[in-house]
C-alpha cells in the first residue's frame, strides 16, 4: 500500500514538473514552445484533449482542428503554438505530442480588478477580485495589501476602507511551484468637508424668567442677505443705473416732441402772414389803389 502511494506521488510530481506554466492577460498573446526534437516532423498540439494543429506525415503541412481557439492560433517555426487575443476559455492544459513523447504546457489567464474603480473615500467599501483561469489543482491564490497583510482568498471584501489601504494591492498566483503576480493601484482620500449644522436652541423658564442657550444676541448685526449671490448694494447700483437710463430716454422723447411742436407752430405762423399780405383789386403805378372820388353835395333848394 505504501509503495503504491509512493509511486503515485512520484508519478504526480514528475507530471507536475513536466508542465510548463505560461501566464497572460485576457486579450494578450501566448506562445507555447514544444521542446521535443527528434528529427521527426509529425507533430500534434492538443488543447484539453481536442486537436488544434496536426502536421501531415506525408507533406509536413499543418492540419487545423476545430474550435474557436483554432481561428486565433498559428504555428511558428514548425513547433511553436501562438495564440492571439486570448480569452479565459483558452486557459488550461496544452499537450505537444511527437510519436510516444509528449510535453505539457499550462496556460494561465489572470486579471485583477477593484470595484469601485475610482479613488475611494475612507469609510466606504471595496471589493478586490483576482480571476484566474486554467490553474488546475494544487494551486493557490492570495492577496497582499499595502500594509503587508495577507488574504488567503481570490476575492477580498473591505467594508470600511482606511488610509492604510491606499497603495498597491498584489495578487500572488502559485501554480506548480511557479509564482506569478498581478497588481492594482488604488487611492484612498478623506471625504470632503461637510457643513456642520448649527447647534439647537434650547429655551428654559425658571421663576418666570426665560433663559436661552445657543441663542443669537439680538444686538448682533446679521450678515447682509445675498440674492442670487450678489449683495444688496450691487443690486442698488444696478437699479440706480437703470433709473438713469430710463430718465435719459424720457428726456429724449420729450425733446423730440417739443421740437416737432415748435416746427409746426412756426410753419403755421408763416402761412398766416402770407394770407394777410394779399390785397384785392388793381393797384396804381405809385403803389396805391385807385378810388372813386366822392360825389359833391347837392344844393338845398
What digits encode the pLDDT tens for the residues 133-175?
Answer: 998 888 899 999 998 989 999 999 999 999 999 999 999 999 9
Q: Where are the beta strands (DSSP E) in 145-241?
A: 150-151, 155-158, 167-175, 178-186, 188-189, 202-206, 209-213
**Residue 10: per-residue pLDDT:** 39
Whether this prediction's pTM lies above 0.85 is answered by no
Q: Would you call the peptide bond into 116 cis, given omega within 30 degrees of 0 as the criterion? A: yes
Among 162, 189, 216, the domain-final residue is 189
Note whether residue 2 is domain-resident. Answer: no
pLDDT band for 215, please (50, 70, 90 cuts): low
Mean pLDDT, the chain, integer: 78
Task: Locate 68 and state its grid cell.
Answer: 474557436
Note whether residue 294 is domain-resident. Answer: no
pLDDT greater than 80 at residue 201: no
Note whether residue 124 is domain-resident. Answer: yes
Among 109, 143, 161, the domain-final residue is 109
Higher pLDDT, 178 or 274: 178
What would the pLDDT profile of 32-82 be if each residue is shown by its tens digit? Answer: 998 887 665 678 899 988 889 887 666 667 778 888 899 999 888 777 899
For residues 103 and 113, is the Cβ–Cβ distance under 8 A? no
Taking the CA atoms of residue 267, residue 268, residue 273 and residue 278 in that order, the dihedral angle to the nearest 10 degrees is: 100
**Residue 184: per-residue pLDDT:** 93
**Count of structural domains within the chain:** 2
Same domain, residue pair 30 and 104: yes
Note whether residue 93 is domain-resident. Answer: yes
Among 109, 132, 148, the domain-final residue is 109
Same domain, residue pair 23 and 105: yes
**Residue 283: per-residue pLDDT:** 46
Same domain, residue pair 105 and 145: no
**Residue 11: per-residue pLDDT:** 41
What would the pLDDT profile of 178-196 be if each residue is shown by its tens digit? Answer: 999 999 999 999 887 655 5
**Residue 198: per-residue pLDDT:** 52
pLDDT band for 213, please (50, 70, 90 cuts): low
For residues 69 and 109, is the Cβ–Cβ distance under 8 A? no
What is the chain's percent helix, strand, coil content, to nearest 5?
Answer: 25, 35, 40
Identity of the highest mean pLDDT range in 42-51, 226-235, 265-274: 42-51
Task: Using the structure block, give the residue that is written with the C-alpha cell 489543482.
Answer: 137
Q: What is the CATH number of the domain that holds 183?
A: 2.60.40.10
**Residue 64: per-residue pLDDT:** 83
Identity of the highest mean pLDDT range in 97-101, 113-117, 134-138: 113-117
Same domain, residue pair 70 and 121: no
Bridge partners of 213, per DSSP, are: 202
pLDDT greater than 80 at residue 128: yes
Find the domain containing 33 and state its range: 17-109
Note whether residue 12 is domain-resident. Answer: no
Same domain, residue pair 181 and 125: yes
Instruction: Let me know if 245 is exposed, middle or buried by CB neighbors in 10 A (0-12, 13-18, 19+).
Output: exposed
**Residue 200: per-residue pLDDT:** 53
Alpha-carbon distances of 99 from 81, 95, 158, 169, rounded to whole Å: 18, 12, 53, 46
Amino acid at each position: 500500500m505504501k509503495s503504491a502511494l509512493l509511486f503515485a506521488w512520484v508519478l504526480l510530481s514528475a507530471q507536475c514538473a513536466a508542465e510548463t506554466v505560461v501566464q497572460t492577460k485576457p486579450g494578450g498573446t501566448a506562445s507555447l514552445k514544444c521542446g521535443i526534437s527528434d528529427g521527426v516532423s509529425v507533430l500534434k498540439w492538443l488543447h484539453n484533449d481536442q486537436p488544434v494543429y496536426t502536421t501531415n506525415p506525408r507533406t509536413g503541412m499543418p492540419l487545423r482542428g476545430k474550435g474557436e481557439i483554432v481561428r486565433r492560433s498559428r504555428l511558428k517555426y514548425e513547433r511553436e503554438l501562438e495564440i492571439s487575443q486570448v480569452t479565459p476559455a483558452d486557459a488550461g492544459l496544452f499537450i505537444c505530442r511527437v510519436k510516444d513523447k509528449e510535453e505539457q504546457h499550462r496556460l494561465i489567464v489572470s486579471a485583477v480588478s477593484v470595484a469601485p474603480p475610482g479613488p475611494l473615500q475612507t469609510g466606504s467599501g471595496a471589493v478586490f477580485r483576482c480571476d484566474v483561469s486554467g490553474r488546475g489543482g494544487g494551486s493557490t491564490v492570495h492577496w497582499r495589501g499595502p500594509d503587508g497583510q495577507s488574504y488567503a482568498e481570490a476575492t477580498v471584501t473591505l467594508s470600511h476602507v482606511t488610509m492604510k489601504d491606499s497603495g498597491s494591492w498584489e495578487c500572488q498566483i502559485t501554480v506548480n511551484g511557479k509564482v506569478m503576480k498581478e497588481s492594482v493601484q488604488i487611492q484612498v482620500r478623506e471625504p470632503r468637508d461637510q457643513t456642520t449644522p448649527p447647534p439647537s436652541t434650547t429655551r428654559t423658564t425658571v421663576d418666570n424668567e426665560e433663559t436661552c442657550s445657543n441663542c443669537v444676541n439680538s444686538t448682533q448685526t446679521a450678515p447682509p442677505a445675498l440674492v442670487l449671490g450678489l449683495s444688496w448694494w450691487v443690486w442698488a447700483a444696478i437699479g440706480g443705473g437703470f433709473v438713469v437710463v430710463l430718465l435719459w430716454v424720457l428726456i429724449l422723447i420729450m425733446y423730440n416732441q417739443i421740437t416737432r411742436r415748435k416746427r409746426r407752430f412756426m410753419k403755421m405762423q408763416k402761412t398766416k402772414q402770407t394770407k394777410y399780405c394779399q390785397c384785392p383789386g388793381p393797384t396804381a403805378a405809385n403803389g396805391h389803389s385807385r378810388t372813386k372820388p366822392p360825389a359833391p353835395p347837392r344844393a338845398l333848394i
